[in-house]
Structure 1
Amino acid sequence: MAILSTDDPRWLQAQRYWELLSVLVQRNLKVRYRGSFLGVYWSLLNPLIMTGLYTAIFGANFASYYGNSILNYVLAAFTGLIVINFFSASTSQALSSVVGNGALLNKIRLPVSVFPVSMIAANVFQFAVGAFPLLALITLINSKNLFNLLMLIFPFVSLVLVCTGVSFLLSALYVFFRDLPYFYELVVFVIWVSSPVFYPAAIVPKQVKPFLSLNPLSPIIESLRQISISGNIPDLTLIWGAMLSGIIILALGWVSFQMLRNQFMDLL
Structure 2
Amino acid sequence: MMLWFKDNLTSLQARRYSELLHVLVSRNLKVRYRGSFLGVYWSLLNPMIMTGLYSAIFGTTFASYYGNSILNYVLASFTALVVINFFSASTSQALSSVVSNGPLLNKIQLPVSIFPVSMVAANVFQFAVGVFPLIAIMTLVNSRSLVNVLALFFPTLALVLVSIGVGFLVSTLYVFFRDLPYFYELVVFVLWITSPVFYPAAIVPTQVKPILRLNPLSPIIESLRQISLSGALPDLSLILGALLSGIIIFSLGWVFFQLWRHQFMDLL
Aligned to 2:260: 260
Rounded to whole Å, the distance in 2 between the matches of 1:5 and 1:266 is: 33
Deviations 1:231-263 (A, max 9, x none): 101000000001011101100000000000000
Q: Is the 1:4–1:10 contact (alpha carbons within 8 Å) kept by the matching residues of 2?
A: no
Rounded to whole Å, the distance in 1 between the matches of 2:226 and 2:7 is: 46
Deviations 1:206-231 (A, max 9, x none): 11111001000000000000000001
Identical counterparts, % of pairs = 77
Aligned to 2:78: 78
In structure 1, the gaps of 5 or more residues are none
Relative distance call for 1:138 and 1:97 in structure 2 (3 A) is same
Aligned to 1:68: 68
1:186 paired with 2:205, answer no
Rounded to whole Å, the distance in 2 between the matches of 1:206 and 1:4 is: 57
Q: Is the 1:140–1:148 contact (alpha carbons within 8 Å) kept by the matching residues of 2?
A: yes
1:52 paired with 2:52, answer yes
What is the correspondence of 1:10-21 to structure 2 with a 5 Å cutoff? Answer: 10-21=10-21
Aligned to 1:126: 126
Structure 2 residue identity aligned to 1:266 = D
| Number of equivalenced pairs | 267
| 4+ long deviations beyond 2 Å | 3-7
TM-score with structure 1 setting the length? 0.98
Structure 1 residue identity aligned to 2:161 = L
Cα distance, 1:51 vs structure 2: 0.5
Rounded to whole Å, the distance in 1 between the matches of 2:7 and 2:196 is: 49
Cα distance, 1:6 vs structure 2: 11
Higher helix share: 2
Rounded to whole Å, the distance in 2 between the matches of 1:51 and 1:187 is: 22
Relative distance call for 1:107 and 1:247 in structure 2 (3 A) is same
Aligned to 1:145: 145
Relative distance call for 1:4 and 1:151 in structure 2 (3 A) is farther
TM-score with structure 2 setting the length? 0.98
Cα distance, 1:177 vs structure 2: 0.3
The two structures, once aligned, show a CA RMSD in angstroms of 1.4
Q: Is the 1:195–1:212 contact (alpha carbons within 8 Å) kept by the matching residues of 2?
A: yes
Q: Secondary structure at the match of 1:8?
A: helix
Rounded to whole Å, the distance in 1 between the matches of 2:153 and 2:69 is: 26
Relative distance call for 1:173 and 1:61 in structure 2 (3 A) is same
